[in-house]
Amino acid sequence: MEDKKISEPPALQVEGYLARIRLRRPHHANRLEAQDLDTLRDLCARLAADETVRVVVLESAGKYFSSGFDIRRVARIATEAPGDTVDNPFEAVAEALERLPQPTIARLHGGVYGGSTDLALACDFRIGTPDTEMFMPAARLGLLYYPSGIRRFVSRLGARHAKAMFLLGDRYEASRMLEIGFLDELVPAEALDRRIDELVDQLAGQAPLAVRGAKHAIDAMARGDFDLHDFKRRETQALRSADLLEGSQAWAEKRPPRFSGR
């Protein structure tokens, strides 16, 4: 059983093609500290450069997924910063997570609060249990969310649901999260890890160049910064790849393909 008094920075565990980013402050509902933001950006940079990792799972210890970033830290940063504008440091973390080349899965076993709602939305798949709930209290706290976070809520869930979350600040139970599309799947608590493992195996079994290229294009289109020239370069690389030949041969031979990412 995990010690709920443990309070440590996020950790990265890599086993073959799978990487796990784990939040480890269960004593404080996995609230992210300032140094945690630096750590998460560093971990994302390491993963972005790692061509052997094919899937990333974002998970946490204890009862809650995460309570986000301490609002008092954001206010202090904004007060001390010069100039008319200031960047929320949490934004860079969510952006780095969204832009990982590997497909990402958020393991949402418990409460998803504040900024951690955007961390979850930055992942490609979000799997929850009946204990999962969501709460975005930005307006109650006087916080105007950073632009890329609002964009993620709008592009993933639609303007209607984004307004309800940001303007009303209601609490959402798991069934409602599934209904509005925040959760991709809702499974019994005892089946969560099994379902995560199934998705990991399914994603890792696909051709890496095709998966990375499709993810990059979909996210870029959602952000409105799709680069056709970059996409054609990725498309050409995939068309010339050994994986395309392997996929075609495996299909003809009715066997599972063995992709190398080349």
**Residue linked to tokens 């790692």:** 50
Start-to-end CA distance of the chain, whole Å, equals 42
Quick one: pLDDT at residue 4?
Answer: 53
State the CATH architecture for 8-203: Alpha-Beta Complex (3.90)
Mean pLDDT for 106-134 is 97
Say if residue 71's pLDDT is above 70: no
Contacts of residue 248, defined as CB under 8 A and 6 or more positions apart, other chains included, come to none
Over the chain, what is the mean pLDDT? 92
Q: Could you tell me the pLDDT band of residue 88, with boundaries at 50, 70 and 90?
A: confident
Q: Which residues pair with 58 in a beta bridge?
A: 21, 106
Q: Determine the pLDDT at residue 86.
A: 67
Residue 73 has pLDDT above 70, yes or no: no
Tens-digit pLDDT profile for residues 133-164: 999 888 888 888 899 999 999 999 999 999 99
Token duo for residue 254? 């009715």
Residue percentage of the chain with pLDDT more than 90: 81
- Among 58, 64, 72, 70, smallest CA distance to 25 is for 64
**What is the total residue count of the chain?**
262
Q: For residue 144, count other CB atoms closer than 10 A to its CB.
A: 10
Better-scored residue on pLDDT, 200 or 138: 200
pTM tops 0.85: yes
pLDDT band, very low/low/confident/very high, at 69 (cuts 50, 70, 90): confident
Query: Which 8-state DSSP code applies to residue 144?
Result: P
The arithmetic mean of pLDDT across residues 187-208, rounded, is 97
Average of pLDDT values for 197-209? 97
Q: Is the pLDDT of residue 251 over 90?
A: yes
Q: 116 Cβ partners below 8 Å, 6+ apart?
A: 30, 32, 65, 66, 67, 68
The full set of domain ranges for the chain reads 8-203, 207-253
Share of the chain above pLDDT 70, in %: 92
pLDDT of residue 47 exceeding 50: yes
* Sheet architecture: strand order including 104-108: 8-15, 18-24, 55-60, 104-108, 125-128, 185-186
Residue 1's pLDDT is: 41
Examine the pLDDT at 208 and tell me if it is beyond 80: yes
Confidence band (pLDDT; 50, 70, 90) for 3? Answer: low
Q: What is the tens place of the pLDDT at every residue in 216-242? A: 999 999 999 999 999 999 999 999 999
Q: What is the pLDDT of residue 23?
A: 97
**In contact, 75 and 97? CB cutoff 8 Å:** no
Number of C-beta neighbours around residue 220 at 10 A: 16
Max intra-chain CA distance, the chain = 64
What is the average per-residue pLDDT within 75-96?
A: 76
